Amino acid sequence: MVAQNIKHALFCAVITLIISYPILGLDLIAEGIQIKLSGADTSTYIGIAAAVLIVFLFQLFRPAITGSLSAIGAANPLRDRKPLPQDKRVRLERAALILIVIGALLWPFFASRGSVDLATLVLIYIMLGLGLNVVVGLAGLLDLGYVAFYAVGAYTFALLSQYYDISFWVALPLGALLAAAFGFLLGFPVLRLRGDYLAIVTLGFGEIIRILLNNLTSLTGGPNGVGGIPDPTLFGMEFGRRIKTEGNTSFHEVFNIPYNSDHKVIFLYLIALLLAVVTLVVIRRLVRMPVGRSWEALREDEIAARSLGMSRTGVKLSAFTIGAFFAGFAGTVFASKQGFISPESFVFLESAIILAIVVLGGMGSQLGVILAAIAVTVLPELAREFSEYRMLIFGAAMVLMMIWRPQGLLPMSRVHIQLKQE
């Protein structure tokens, strides 16, 4: 047994050495016109050696270590806690959501410009997460090209404002409706595909939209994107330093206060908050309506649901369209926040991040999605000092979360209706 352990541990250590040394220890550098190999600095070698040693020891004493780890788990006092009763938990979740919204409404007035800016981004991801949650979490349709609808919303606003001077408030419903229309049109043929094939087709669709945006240079500006997207106005008042559209007034002039660029950021944040709350409430209601129930029914057991007379295409299509609608919403806000969009903002990685938010939050759970959106957006920003390692850590965290907590932060639990028990 011990001999076998040593053999296995040695094997793992050697593998660690093989996969780390050549990449980390031998650097390809360009010296003039020649490519040369150079050794890394000593600390890298020490790091590699340490990694090899750790892997060796871990594999050698694996049973002991995993044993003590589960002992830690057992020592957790909350482990044996009974789940809260149904009605209490529902009330608690509702209270938490309301508290979050109130808190979110107040804090920008005390926070720095940078953090409000970041919070707006968080809200956009919350909208996206909630929207994709309908498709993936509730209806169980694996969508790897969700970013396409986000792009449709963003580009609708950007292009309408560029060619027709359409303002944010007009573009907002248009962008969302157009995204929904795209969802509907795409959903029609592809929704009869099962599981992974659906995932692949949506992935292809997402890439096609991006490449088209990249190539239709005369319309979309190609890789250069569309700039100069106007900020939202408040009853015809602009928040910029100078008025851009004729006929509008300037916020700081109307109220006779000195110009401060924070106003614009806070205003955008409040709009994003409003839209995120709308998204949250609408989806919350939808889930309790027959259409929401049928999403889940179809996800749980397609054959049973169909034999009860549900239209498979109709139900899936409704989920797909509604998901796309909210992506369009988020896209419009994103375009207005950035003031500039390019196809680079809508790459596959973005789809993957939104999907990660949904899965990390606990599929189907709204509070979970909100928490996950905050975590996924804010944590990398906090790690700015490690900015180089940011994406590395992000990737590793995705893997580790899936291993340790595959059910997500706050897994969704069904709301049962119980008969009163006397």
Partner 1 sequence: MHDVLYFLQQLINGLTVGSAYALIAIGYTMVYGIIGMINFAHGEIYMIGAYISLIVITGLATLGSAWLPLVLLVALICAVIVSSSMGWAVERVAYRPVRGQHRLIPLISAIGMSIFLQNYVHLAQGSRNIGFPSLIQGGITMGAEDGFQTSISYMQITIFVVTLVCMTALSMFISKSRLGRACRAVSQDLKMSNLLGIDTNRIIAATFVIGAALAAVAGLLLGMYYGSIDPLFGFIAGLKAFTAAVLGGIGSIPGAMLGGLILGVAEAMTSGYLSGEYKDVVSFGLLILILLFRPTGLLGKPEVEKI
Partner 2 sequence: MKIKLNKLVVGVSASLAMMASGVTQADIKIGIAGPMTGAVAQYGDMQFSGARMAIEQINANGGVMGEKLVAVEQDDVCDPKQAVTVANNMVNEGVRFVVGHLCSSSTQPASDIYEDEGILMVTPASTSPAITERGYELVFRTIGLDSMQGPVAGKYIASQKPERVAVIHDKQQYGEGIASAVKSTLEDDGIDVVMYEGITAGQKDFSSLVTKLKKENVDFVYYGGYHPELGLILRQAQQAKLDAKFMGPEGVGNKDINTIAGDAAEGLLVTLPPSFDEKAENKSLVDAFAKKGEDPSGPFVLTSYTAVQLIADGIEKADSKDPIDVAKALRANTFKTPIGDVAYDKNGDLKSFEFVVYEWHSDGSKTPVK
Q: Which residues bind partner 1 (CB under 8 A)?
A: 15-16, 18-19, 22-24, 26-30, 35-37, 40, 136, 142, 189-190, 193-197, 199-201, 203-205, 207-208, 211-212, 214-215, 303, 348-349, 352, 355-356, 359, 363, 388-389, 391-392, 394-399, 402-403, 406
In the complex, the smallest distance separating the C-beta of residue 125 from partner 2, rounded to whole angstroms, is 14
Q: What is the DSSP string of 313-381?
A: HHHHHHHHHHHHHHHHHHHHHHHHHHS-B-GGGGSHHHHHHHHHHHHHH-TT-HHHHHHHHHHHHHHHH
Give the three-state DSSP class for 35: strand
Phi, psi of 421 (to 5 degrees): -105, 125
Q: Are 228 and 338 in contact (CB under 8 A)?
A: no
List 21, 58, 61, 340, residue binding partner 2 (CB under 8 A): 340
Question: What residues between 253 and 312 interact with partner 2 by CB under 8 A?
Answer: 255, 257-258, 260-263, 266
Label residues 314-348 b or e (16+ Cβ within 10 Å = b): ebbbbbbbbbbbbbbbbbbbbbbbbeebbbebbee
Contact code string over 96-125 relative to partner 2, x by CB under 8 A: -------------xx-xxx--x--------
Q: Which stretch binds partner 2 (CB under 8 A): 51-59, 216-224, 319-327, 400-408?
A: 216-224
- Can you tell me which of 344, 386, 392, 395 binds partner 2, judged by CB under 8 A? 344
Please give the angle made by the CA atoms of 21, 397 and 111, to the nearest 5 degrees.
125
Q: Which is nearer to partner 2, 262 or 302 (CB)?
A: 262
Does 248 interact with partner 2 (rule: CB under 8 A)?
A: no
DSSP letter assigned to residue 139: S
C-beta of 48 vs 266, nearer to partner 1: 48
Binding segment (CB under 8 A) for partner 2, from list 43-51, 131-139, 340-348, 372-380 = 340-348
CB 408 within 8 A of CB 363: yes
Strands 34-39 and 249-250: unpaired
Given partner 1, partner 2, none, residue 58, with its beta carbon under 5 to 8 Å by kind, binds none
Q: CA 165, CA 237: separation in Å to the nearest integer?
A: 16
- CA–CA distance, 422 with 417 (Å, rounded to integer): 15
Among 133, 202, 318, 342, binds partner 2 (CB under 8 A): 342
Cα–Cα dist 72/65, whole Å: 11
Q: Which residues is 238 bridged to in the sheet?
A: 250
* Residue 67 site contact among partner 1, partner 2, none (CB < 5 to 8 Å, cut-off depends on kind): none
CB of 230 to partner 1, least distance (A): 30
Tell me if 395 contacts partner 2 by CB under 8 A.
no
Query: Is 256 in a helix, a strand, or coil?
Result: coil
Residue in 4, 34, 218, 418 binding partner 2, rule: CB under 8 A: 34
Quote the least distance from Cβ 30 to partner 2, whole Å: 5
- Binding region for partner 2 (CB under 8 A): 30, 32-35, 109-110, 112-114, 117, 214-215, 217, 222-225, 227-228, 240-241, 255, 257-258, 260-263, 266, 338-342, 344-345, 387
